[in-house]
Structure 1
């Protein structure tokens, strides 16, 4: 009977392993990454000879990965990973207009020479691939940027696929519209079937299979051109200089076919390589024709970014992406800094909801940031040491699970650029580390629930709101004024009288949860949570999921584990240790966060995993889980 039992188990193992083990490396540490939030660090790519900043090499990027891991980063974003060139000062292109040829000066922009060759200025392809391998060993995803939006002489599209450039009514290449703010080159036709075929069947598979990257960020996914309707509209109302329709296009051309094809290809490749892939984008607007006439008219008159805060704009392209950047969030922080209308607490929360429900977050999730590469120099004051902790707190406690940390705020080159612009990059690193940890720990900060909770004083510069889920509540209050303020807050904490503490400072506050008085010093954020008894929860494995070689595969009829498993635990504050038991036998004690233990013993059958947390006062809490495990190769 025992022999039959063992044969049955081995047969089950074979059946379970065969369909899912392809493409999964059981020794790949990256495959174990099951973080609830995505913390993305942007890697700089530009050269500034005046600042003594070269391009960071692939080896230099590899060297700073452990530092990023310490901050809590679990993804890096690679700007311009391919061989490329940058437009030179004074470089021009020819626009073919109704008044003849016009020379237009180009703004700085990356133009791709070879989409399949890693940037040689940063090192060899071997260096590039080794950097990716090291990132994976640390549990860090690698997401490169794909830009196929504009073309000029000397780049891949212009030189090899000129027919991919959008044609004007003059049968010549069309330039971006409006030119003054978007003076980057000729407009690429993302609806061209050959372009779609090249991107989806050449570039995407090469990057994912040959480079082993973990997703593709689509830069500037829209198409900025002027058609005959817009030309007539602008001529009727008059155009600001630089906003004329120079090269009108006949017809409607949308980037949606390309985006849809990329989404489908990425989902197909997920199955082939055996891991989740990420498909984010910079924005989710298709074309100018997908906007109301009055928004187009504003662009004609010199307001090209008015569309960003108009909920009537068609943003359905976002439905194809896992997330998009939220430039509106940075603009919101700017308004708070300037003590604009958004610096009233209710207005801030209302606009944040608008971002999530009506603007860029309507169809997908948003990645919020304090500052990033585009227009970085215009927002560096948000990083000033006096106030940066307030803005990083607003970023980390905003709805959503994506935290974007732009270039020059973490290594590499953060110290040089920080010194140039007058901010303290070590201070930023400290606060990002602290806030990322808090974002991970309190799941209420990862959801979508948010409400204004400020009773008084309703003045500019005081932002206060509640975040909550079915298990916990968090109250955030930020004072960006230069004087301390005594605030009264209507929290969601339960009871006639409560005691809460600020996880940033450790200070405690007592009172009525519906009229809680909290003193907030000048330029100070607070994150308030309830004092709780000892709490502990098994986060991995999840109940009723299948795990193979420490990797979550899919929901299942029971909690089934094939091979080894890392037991991960979420414990409350003030924990001295966490003990790990199998069938009431103590296996391991962990004294430091994150609390985890690798169970890699010979084991077949049903077992009970139990974890016990003990705080510094000796109070205990435990969590249990029954699992079925088949580990024939354990130690």
Structure 2
């Protein structure tokens, strides 16, 4: 979607503010690496290696580990194709890289034995870590469990053969699984979930790509009427409406039932909230016909109500905001506006949001956000955003961060210190777990300079981040009174608000961040326990600056 279109979606009114969760109630999830690229020397760790790394992940502040593809699966060979029946007859479509599941109840043998897998889960529990497994039941090709053993679970086209993802260019991974099929629902609910939770001992099941992206007869008509971009043709039209909600509802009920039976706290998160293409305004379906797949992401008219079944979903829009800040495309005021829109009008209206900077090692548009010169900026924005679910992506923490160090110049130890520090800060300050946020920047209106206040009934926190390569002097408003003393939790430097206004003027070095709180007795011990490496202490500079100007919003690019 264009910057201008995204700007048009900004909320005009504020909804009710959400209260803060209980003190210290933060869920920190660390993803275990999963993808491999032998040509680049990238390998997924064995179950034994994961077990060995668990104490280090716990030290960072992890509450749970996230297992991508915990089951027996494969990836397609380069150039692998599937045979698809279309109006023009049979055609061959090359499939892209995605996990194809061969057995949902056997741990991935490429990472070790089942006993090693169970040992890893047991060790995680000993350390107080929950274990969440990713369930992908969206696609199938020859050799996969669904295709080989239950072809009746595949969504059927009007040509009497399996349907593929629509648009194909958006998700060229295989045939679509019909998540409304009673047999599939029974298998997931009465075989997969009990096995994962009772036999494997998992504490949560993450439903990957919960929607069903298919072309129905009306979409085929739209394609004919408005034309299609290459890869967006209605190859396999489907007659009827097929919603994933019956599966999602049944999974929620089963998770609740298993929670009661086991006496353990279980989680049911998912990737997203969207059901189908028909659950959004038609203009976005037409946009998809033209190759604009993600124009709907920021529109509050899209039906996201399926999110109410999930404990949390991935917040891709937040990462988009971070990239927009990095690109110096939005102002501080716009950053806060968009964050509030996510929380109150989009997915956050229905469920909690897991915020992350990056997920995969190959997500090239977002790799710069964690480079050593700016990592403190974006991890600070991550840790001080609204909400209470923090997701740390693959290959970002030792011992696996060497991949990012070698390929992209990351500093693994720096990332570990930054993630640990921000997790600690978020757990200590309830204001950072509330839904309250307001733009705090008075000036200058430089894109890439972000300042906001966070607060609850007990305290307030002022966050200032300068992502630009130039030193700036920021003038901000706080929620404190005149001549209040503030301390920067990242550097230890003290500031005092002005006598006449309670405002504050702060020197911000290039690529720097500050988290300012009212000075209290325990901050010295806090700073001495987990200081940010290379923290710089500089004196405050007082100067007048103009107010923020307007700007444009980011282009969304979803990571597949």
- Indicate whether the TM-score tops 0.5: yes
Q: Which residue of 2 aligns with 1:376?
A: 363
SS of structure 2 residue aligned to 1:115: strand
1:421 aligns with 2:371: no
Q: CA deviation at 1:138?
A: 0.8
Q: Which residue of 2 aligns with 1:182?
A: 171
Q: CA deviation at 1:575?
A: 4.9
Aligned length in residues: 505
Contact 1:109–1:184 (CA under 8 A) maintained in structure 2:
yes
Instruction: Summarize the Cα distance change of 1:281–1:474 in structure 2 as closer, same or farther, 3 Å threshold.
Output: same
- Residues 380-459 of structure 1: pairs in structure 2 closer than 5 A: 380-459=367-446
1:78-132 CA distance string (max 9 Å, x none): 0000001111110011121111111111000101000000001101111001101
Contact 2:484–2:502 (CA under 8 A) maintained in structure 1:
no
Q: Which residue of 2 aligns with 1:104?
A: 93
Which of 446, 457, 460 is matched with 1:473 structurally?
Answer: 460
Distance 2:202 2:114 in 1: 13
Q: Which residue of 1 aligns with 2:486?
A: 500
Q: Which residue of 1 aligns with 2:193?
A: 204
Which of 503, 509, 512 is matched with 1:524 structurally?
Answer: 512
Contact 2:361–2:394 (CA under 8 A) maintained in structure 1:
no
1:487 aligns with 2:474: yes
Distance 1:374 1:422 in 2: 12
Q: Which residue of 1 aligns with 2:449?
A: 462
1:546-605 CA distance string (max 9 Å, x none): xxxxxxxxxxxxxxxxxxxxxxxxxx32359xxxxxxxxxxxxxx989xxxxxxxxxxxx
Q: CA deviation at 1:407?
A: 0.3
- Residues 61-72 of structure 1: pairs in structure 2 closer than 5 A: 61-72=50-61
1:89 aligns with 2:81: no
SS of structure 2 residue aligned to 1:216: strand
Distance 1:182 1:358 in 2: 27
1:6-40 CA distance string (max 9 Å, x none): xxxxxxxxxxxxxxxxxxxxxxxxxxxx9611111
Q: Which residue of 2 aligns with 1:613?
A: none
SS of structure 1 residue aligned to 2:53: helix
Which of 342, 358, 368 is matched with 2:345 structurally?
Answer: 358
Structure 2 unaligned blocks of 5 or more: 1-22, 531-560
Contact 1:53–1:413 (CA under 8 A) maintained in structure 2:
no
Cα root mean square deviation, aligned = 1.5
Distance 1:151 1:527 in 2: 47
Contact 2:24–2:428 (CA under 8 A) maintained in structure 1:
no
Contact 1:44–1:412 (CA under 8 A) maintained in structure 2:
no
Distance 1:404 1:272 in 2: 28
Q: CA deviation at 1:519?
A: 1.3
Relative to total residues, which structure has the larger strand share, 1 or 2? 1
Q: CA deviation at 1:403?
A: 0.5
Contact 2:167–2:233 (CA under 8 A) maintained in structure 1:
yes
When Rg is computed on C-alpha atoms for both structures, the one with the higher figure is 1
Which of 182, 203, 212 is matched with 1:214 structurally?
Answer: 203
Q: CA deviation at 1:488?
A: 1.2
Distance 1:506 1:374 in 2: 33
SS of structure 1 residue aligned to 2:348: coil
1:167-207 CA distance string (max 9 Å, x none): 00111100000001200100000000010011001100111
Distance 1:529 1:152 in 2: 55
Contact 1:482–1:522 (CA under 8 A) maintained in structure 2:
yes
1:393-440 CA distance string (max 9 Å, x none): 001000111010000101342112321122212211111011111111
Structure 1 unaligned blocks of 5 or more: 1-33, 535-571, 577-590, 594-635
1:333-364 CA distance string (max 9 Å, x none): 11111111x2x000000000111111221200
Contact 1:392–1:432 (CA under 8 A) maintained in structure 2:
yes
TM-score norm. by structure 1 comes to: 0.78
Contact 1:408–1:418 (CA under 8 A) maintained in structure 2:
no
SS of structure 1 residue aligned to 2:85: strand
Q: Which residue of 2 aligns with 1:167?
A: 156
Q: CA deviation at 1:388?
A: 1.1
Q: Which residue of 1 aligns with 2:549?
A: none
Q: Which residue of 1 aligns with 2:524?
A: 574
Q: Which residue of 2 aligns with 1:27?
A: none
Distance 2:386 2:362 in 1: 24
SS of structure 1 residue aligned to 2:474: strand
Q: Which residue of 1 aligns with 2:16?
A: none
**Structure with more relative contact order (C-alpha pairs < 8 Å, separation 6 or more):** 2
Q: CA deviation at 1:136?
A: 0.8
Q: Which residue of 1 aligns with 2:290?
A: 301
Distance 1:328 1:112 in 2: 29
Distance 1:406 1:143 in 2: 14
1:268 aligns with 2:257: yes
Distance 1:276 1:406 in 2: 23
Distance 1:479 1:66 in 2: 34
Distance 2:55 2:389 in 1: 20
Q: CA deviation at 1:53?
A: 2.8
Instruction: Summarize the Cα distance change of 1:163–1:471 in structure 2 as closer, same or farther, 3 Å threshold.
Output: same
Distance 1:55 1:405 in 2: 16
Distance 2:384 2:233 in 1: 42
Distance 2:121 2:393 in 1: 19
Q: Which range moved further: 34-43 or 211-220?
A: 34-43
Distance 2:362 2:386 in 1: 24
Distance 1:411 1:75 in 2: 16
SS of structure 1 residue aligned to 2:349: coil
Instruction: Summarize the Cα distance change of 1:393–1:575 in structure 2 as closer, same or farther, 3 Å threshold.
Output: closer
Contact 1:55–1:121 (CA under 8 A) maintained in structure 2:
no
Distance 2:304 2:197 in 1: 27
Which of 490, 497, 507 is matched with 1:511 structurally?
Answer: 497
SS of structure 2 residue aligned to 1:168: coil
